[in-house]
């Protein structure tokens, strides 16, 4: 069993080294597996920035409201807070929970032949 596992690891490494890809937008080169990890790391960073901006808008709205700021300023910050929350949710839905277009169809890609 150990010998088979070792052989499987060798085959996997060989395949990964053969299927190196380059992302045109970022210029990053790597295997398909590492590219996915790097892509999702970038998405995580973006989600973090959106979350921090939303929290900042929430704090700013509370601070200026407690200082008796003009209502339209508070309303603008509250609106931005809601929009940032929606933006983060949309990014998560379009990345982590997205389905590739070819999987949206319920029709098989090729004709099914039964024995």
Element (H, E) at 31: strand 29-31
Per-residue pLDDT tens over the stretch 27-81: 555 554 555 888 889 999 999 999 999 999 999 999 999 999 999 999 999 999 9
Does the structure show a pLDDT above 70 at 96? yes
Q: How many residues make up the chain in this entry?
A: 115
Evaluate whether 38 touches 28 at the Cβ level (below 8 Å): yes
Q: Return mean pLDDT, the chain.
A: 77
Predicted local confidence at residue 52, as pLDDT: 97
Q: Angle at Cα 88 formed by Cα 87 and Cα 94, nearest 5°?
A: 85
- Greatest Cα pair distance, the chain, in angstroms, is 77
Q: How far apart are CA 64 and CA 77, in angstroms?
A: 10
Q: How far apart are CA 61 and CA 67, in angstroms?
A: 10
């Amino acid at each position: 069993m150990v010998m088979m596992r070792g052989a499987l690891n060798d085959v996997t490494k060989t395949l990964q080294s053969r299927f190196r890809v380059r992302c045109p937008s970022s210029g990053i080169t790597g295997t398909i597996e590492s590219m996915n990890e790097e892509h999702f790391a970038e998405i995580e960073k973006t989600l973090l920035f959106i979350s921090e901006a939303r929290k900042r808008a929430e704090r700013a709205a509370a601070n200026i409201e407690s200082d008796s700021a003009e209502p339209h300023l508070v309303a603008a910050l509250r609106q931005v807070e809601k929009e940032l929350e929606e933006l983060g949710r949309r990014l998560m839905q379009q990345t982590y929970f997205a389905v590739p277009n070819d999987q949206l169809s319920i029709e098989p890609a090729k004709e099914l032949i039964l024995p």
